[in-house]
Amino acid sequence: MKQVKCECGHVNPHGTVLCESCGRVLVEEEKKKKLVDMRYEGSARRSQTYNKTIIDKIWNFFSSVKVGVTLIIITLAASAIGTIFPQEMYIPTTEPASVYYESQYGVAGKLYYLLGFHNLYSSWWYLLLIASIGISLVICSLDRVVPLYRALKNQKVSRHEGFLKRQRLFGTSQVEELDSSYELVKEKLKKNRYNIREENGNILAEKGRFSRWGPYINHIGLIIFLAGGMLRFVPGMYVDELLWVREGETAVIPETDGEYYLENHQFILEVYDKDKDNEAFNNAIENSGMVAKNFQSDVTLYKKSAETVAGEEPILDKVQDYELRVNEPLKFENFALYQQSYKLDELNKMSFALTNKENNEEFGDLTIDLYNPQDEYDLGDGYKVEVMSYFPDFEFDENSEPVTKSRIPNNPAFIFKMITPDKPDGEVSFVAIKQTIEPFGDNEFKMAFKGVETKNVTALTVRKDLTLGVLAVGGFIFMVGVVQGAYWNHRRIWIRRVDGEVWVAGHTNKNWHGLKREISTIFDGTGINEPKDQSDESDKSIESNSKEE
């Protein structure tokens, strides 16, 4: 590794522009310039000096801010495109994605699907983009913060004349009463909270150096944030499930290892009432007909008290009763249950009366629990109804056979055998909602529909997110970095005696106006001339160059 030894004796890493110690300009080209480029203190960024091995090449690629910005722009563009059409998880399940996008959105939709935008946010290339931004962030920061730290740590009080002369704020003065002027300046610098270092009658006054670390603290926060996002993929860190519980039912809460159970006593949907509630709601009620006021599930949380094998009746201890509303989740351990959705009036029981078709005489009622129908219902006196078949969610299949679509009684249908003293062999009747079929000809009896009993079903989101803490810490550190870099400036003032003259130079990483004002009060009345802004006459663009980001 080649190193550069400065005339002052300090050994600098290869590629250094300004000696870390004395500030002497080490590169011939820079000497021709009127002002030195103070970005990163003229330190050598490793990525710009070595380019030999594959490691160098990878490192240099990610170290480039241009590459970083390009990655961010590509990711932004991709993220935006991903919102044009709905993502795969949100399309109706009636059609497969390969058909849906083309049928809904034509050629654009087909292209969207073929290019994989329908499942963008978990696609490998999108994740790779995000990961590359993370890597770029780490490497960009490391490649800059280390040399910057070295340069600021090694800086000497007496900077080289060539360095001072090429500072944006620079001035020379002939001073008569040097000692008293010096004392006065020092006092004023102290009053302005500068740290003062002295060496052979030269002064380096510095303040706010920690603001230089702002961007890097900010990046650390971002990296922690990204790592938090990554943790979601670690099993057990993140749970997002939906739990449907019918009124009166107790269900095991998913992802709790069968430890917790939830009983739903009641689901309540309240709407705003024109007469009872505040008049302010009247317009809204008139416009939309119904305005929801409250979605609530009255639940009881249970914990399994003894180890039982799955399938056994669990022994449950009550943990708590809770009225679960939107934004008022039930929290236990690391879990939270949120009111998510509901289904009103799901069929639960159906009542029929065995009736003579001729004279409508009834021979007893029967109520069928749609979740647990009996094989037969004895009505006494020789009247009996057998359930030959039950289809909770009935439809006719392609062979015109009655089948069930699911186990939920959305559309219950029965095949009954009605046994009466008149017809001891029984009459068969197919009964569905608003539909009766008598497959073996005219019956004497019928099952007359009497009524239904319904129940509401609540849907709760089961959520566990152990990454939130990490995200909060990351976000907090991010903001600390922003504040640190934005509200403080790193200001330095060099005062050096050169051949009976006093040379003064000033530098700040931002807010030159503030520094100039401060300097003018410090040197006012000390006999030392206030340094002039050398960029005013020549190079305006230096202001924009001085930002390190």
Partner 1 sequence: MRSVILLILGAAVAYTLYANFSKDKIHKVEMGKEAPDFVLVDMDGETHRLSDYKGQGVFLNFWGTWCKPCEKEMPYINNQYKQFKDQGVQTIAVNISESKLVVNKFLERHDLEFPVVIDKDRQVENAYGIGPLPATFLIDPEGKVVKYHTGTLTEPMVREFMEQVKP
Q: Which stretch binds partner 1 (CB under 8 A): 112-120, 274-282, 401-409, 478-486?
A: 401-409
Q: Which is nearer to partner 1, 93 or 278 (CB)?
A: 93
Are residues 171 and 504 in contact, defined by beta-carbon separation less than 8 angstroms? yes
3-state secondary structure of 507: strand
E strand or H helix at 544, and its extent? helix 542-545
Q: Which is nearer to partner 1, 280 or 310 (CB)?
A: 310
Q: Which is nearer to partner 1, 210 or 233 (CB)?
A: 233
Q: Which stretch binds partner 1 (CB under 8 A): 22-30, 400-408, 421-429, 518-526?
A: 400-408
Secondary structure in 3-state letters for 325-344: ECCECEEECCEEEEEEEEEE
Q: Which stretch binds partner 1 (CB under 8 A): 280-288, 372-380, 426-434, 478-486?
A: 372-380
- Identify the residue whose tokens are 């019956």: 443
Residue 378 sits in the site that holds partner 1 (CB under 8 A)? no
Secondary structure in 3-state letters for 278-295: CHHHHHHHHHHCCCEEEE
Residue 371 sits in the site that holds partner 1 (CB under 8 A)? yes
Among 128, 242, 326, 468, binds partner 1 (CB under 8 A): 128
Euclidean distance between CA atoms 274 and 175, whole angstroms: 87
Among 179, 275, 312, 442, binds partner 1 (CB under 8 A): 312
Work out whether the CA dihedral 376, 379, 381, 385 comes out positive or negative. Answer: negative
Of the candidates 92, 86, 73, 93, the residue with the CA atom closest to the CA atom of residue 113: 86
Q: Which stretch binds partner 1 (CB under 8 A): 8-16, 51-59, 81-89, 478-486?
A: 51-59
Q: How far is CA 531 from the centre of its chain?
A: 49
Q: Which is nearer to partner 1, 81 or 128 (CB)?
A: 128
Residue 313 token pair = 């009746």
Q: Which stretch binds partner 1 (CB under 8 A): 306-314, 336-344, 509-517, 521-529?
A: 306-314
Among 70, 103, 122, 454, binds partner 1 (CB under 8 A): 122
Residue 466 sits in the site that holds partner 1 (CB under 8 A)? no
Q: What angle do CA 504, 508, 509 make, to 5 degrees?
A: 155
Among 365, 393, 539, 548, binds partner 1 (CB under 8 A): 393
C-alpha distances out from residue 451 to 278, 365, 368, 383, 454, Å: 37, 11, 11, 21, 10
Shortest distance, position 252 Cβ to partner 1, whole Å: 5
Interhelix angle 214-231/468-487, nearest 10 degrees: 170
Among 373, 481, 506, 531, binds partner 1 (CB under 8 A): 373
The torsion angles phi and psi of 427, rounded to 5 degrees, stand at -115, 140
Residue 221 sits in the site that holds partner 1 (CB under 8 A)? no
Buried b (16+ CB within 10 A) or exposed e, 68-106: beebeeeeeebeeebeebeebeebeeeeeeeebbbeebe
Among 403, 433, 479, 486, binds partner 1 (CB under 8 A): 403
Residue 386 sits in the site that holds partner 1 (CB under 8 A)? no
Shortest distance, position 179 Cβ to partner 1, whole Å: 49
Residue 227 sits in the site that holds partner 1 (CB under 8 A)? yes
Residue 231 token pair = 């943790």
Residue 89 sits in the site that holds partner 1 (CB under 8 A)? no
Contacts of 204 (CB under 8 A, 6+ apart): 155, 156, 157, 159, 196, 197, 198, 492, 493, 494
Residue 52 sits in the site that holds partner 1 (CB under 8 A)? no
Among 167, 404, 443, 484, binds partner 1 (CB under 8 A): 404
Euclidean distance between CA atoms 451 and 436, whole angstroms: 16
Residue 459 sits in the site that holds partner 1 (CB under 8 A)? no
Q: Which is nearer to partner 1, 142 or 336 (CB)?
A: 142
Residues that bind partner 1 (CB under 8 A): 55, 58-59, 122, 124, 127-128, 131, 134-135, 138-139, 142, 227, 230, 233-235, 250-252, 254, 258, 309-312, 314, 371-375, 387-390, 392-393, 403-407
